Structures are given as structure tokens and as C-alpha cells.
Amino acid sequence: MSAILEIVHVTRRFAGLVAVNDVSFALNEGEILGVIGPNGAGKTTLVGLISGTLPPSSGDIVFKGRSVTSLPAFRRARLGIGRTFQIMRPFPGLSVLDNVAVGALFGYGRGTSDLEEARQKARRNLEFVGLSRFADHLADELGGPGRKRLELAKALAMEPKLLLCDEVMAGLNHVEIDEVIGIIRKVRDLGITILVIEHVIKAIKSLSDRLLVIHHGEKIADGIPDAVLSDKTVVEAYLGKRQA
């Protein structure tokens, strides 16, 4: 297996605060990598650095063997990096269908320029995440769980090679979580590499091939889920705090 994404000594500072501190890891093609860490650990910042919405303070980001560190977000999207937002931001005034169609019109390799074709594709993506019923609603009218799925459908319509999911299960109930886990597995079966950020330990444990733990912006563990979750530092830093 070859690495599709390499993070090399990446640091990001915000006025006096180091949100991501000298983090390095690689993501193999076809893999599902789980990233966990307490609130404020720097997970969302990491997604921003990979997708290009935030420039790193130092370090290098290599995607498919090519440094993308200095590329703007839209170029990275065209190379095949798709992301969802933890704070869900659909295009509120567009229909659910057209929200997804934007992904098909742009996205990987610039997508299609034909609006009808893009909408067809968007319909398939809505079906994939189970939102078909809401195709003609305004995105603004969806509730929380619906928006999580919409985020996924929008990113999938871009036909990404790498999908970054920022807490797509937060705030969902058990049934909904199981459904989203099913969707993510199906995405992987399409050959898409996935980075999932999650708070729900149980969910991420069963889903991930490998688990990365971030604490105060630093990587404190990286390995197969069972080993990582029984690691002493991790238990102290993260699980210990949660149980306390």
C-alpha cells in the first residue's frame, strides 16, 4: 500500500496558541484513519490544513506524491481532497439537490460543466446518503442529522480520492450513528481513502483501520485501535478525563 497523504512536521499557530504542533503521519490508500482527541485538541485545524482553508505555519503536506502546501483550497479540491465541516455550512438558499450539484459541477478534475448531468449525479449521491426525500427542500430547512448527511453528499459529489470527515456523527442517536457508519464503509468500498474525526469512541473503534490521538495539538499515539485505546498516555490524556 502506498501513502496517498503525508503530513510532514506540520505546525499551525494562532496568535500565541499552537493548535497543531509538529504533527507527522501518513495515510495509506484505501485506509480509514480515525483521529480522536479532546475538544480543542486541534482536530478541526488539522482538517483545515489538509483541505487548504488554513495555511500551515510550517511543515509540508504531500498529496499523491506532490506537495500541496502552497496550493489554494480549490486546487486541492480539484486534485481530489474533499471535506465536511463540523459546523455544518450548507448553501442555505439553495435546494438540497443543488447544494450537492455544486460538488459535481466542481470538485475532482473540475467535474462536469453540464447542469443536468450534475443534478443527476447529485440525485445518486442523495440516495447514497439517504436524503432523496429532501432533494427539493431548501438546505436551510434540514435538521441537524440531515445536515450531517448533506455535508457527506456534497463532499462525495466532488468524487474525492480522499475524504475528510469532521465529526459527522456528533449529536446523532445510536440508530443514526450506525447508519452513518454504514455509509462511510460504503464510501470506502468505492475506493476512497477516509480520515474520520470523531468523539464517539465506540463508533470510531469499529470503523477505523488505524487510530491517531491528538492532545494539545500534538500526536500522542498512532496505531491499530485496540493498542492505541489501551495505551497509558492516551487513557490518561483523553479517556481518563472523560471518565472522570
Partner 1 sequence: MNSAIRIAIALLAVVVLAALPWFGSDVIVQFGISTLLLAVLAQGWNIIGGYTGYPSFGNSTFFGLGAYGVAVAMVQWNMPFWVGMVFGAAMAVCFAILLGLPVLRLKGHYFAIATLALAQVVAAIVSNIPLFGQNIGLVLPPLNNDAMFYELSLALLLMATLTVWWLTRSRFGFGLIAIRENEEGAAVMGVNTTLYKVMAFALSGLFSSLAGGIQAYWITFLDPASAFDISLNVKMIIMAVFGGPGTVLGPIVGAVVLSAVSEVLSSEVTNAAGLFFGIVVVAAVVLMPRGLADIVHHFRKSGWRYFVQNIRAHRI
Ligand X SMILES: Nc1ncnc2c1ncn2[C@@H]1O[C@H](COP(=O)(O)OP(=O)(O)O)[C@@H](O)[C@H]1O
Which residue ranges make up the site for partner 1 (CB under 8 A)?
51-53, 72-74, 77-78, 82-83, 85, 89-94, 98, 101-103, 105-108, 110-111, 113, 115, 118, 154-155, 158
Q: State the residue number with the nearest CB to Mg ion.
A: 44
- Least distance in angstroms from the C-beta of 137 to ligand X: 29
The residue length of the chain stands at 244
- Least distance in angstroms from the C-beta of 30 to partner 1: 22
- Least distance in angstroms from the C-beta of 152 to partner 1: 13
Ranges within 42-71 binding ligand X (CB under 6 A) = 42-45
Amino acid at the residue 38: P
Region from 35-43, 87-95, 175-183, 224-232 binding ligand X, contact rule CB under 6 A: 35-43
- Least distance in angstroms from the C-beta of 175 to partner 1: 28
Q: Contact, 162 vs 108, CB < 8 A?
A: no
Ranges within 60-119 binding Mg ion (CB under 5 A) = 86
- Complex with ligand X: residue 20 or 100, whichever CB lies closer: 20
Residue 52 contact partner, candidates partner 1, Mg ion, ligand X, none, CB within 5 to 8 A by sort of partner: partner 1
- Least distance in angstroms from the C-beta of 36 to ligand X: 9
Q: Which residues bind ligand X (CB under 6 A)?
A: 14, 17, 19, 37, 39-45
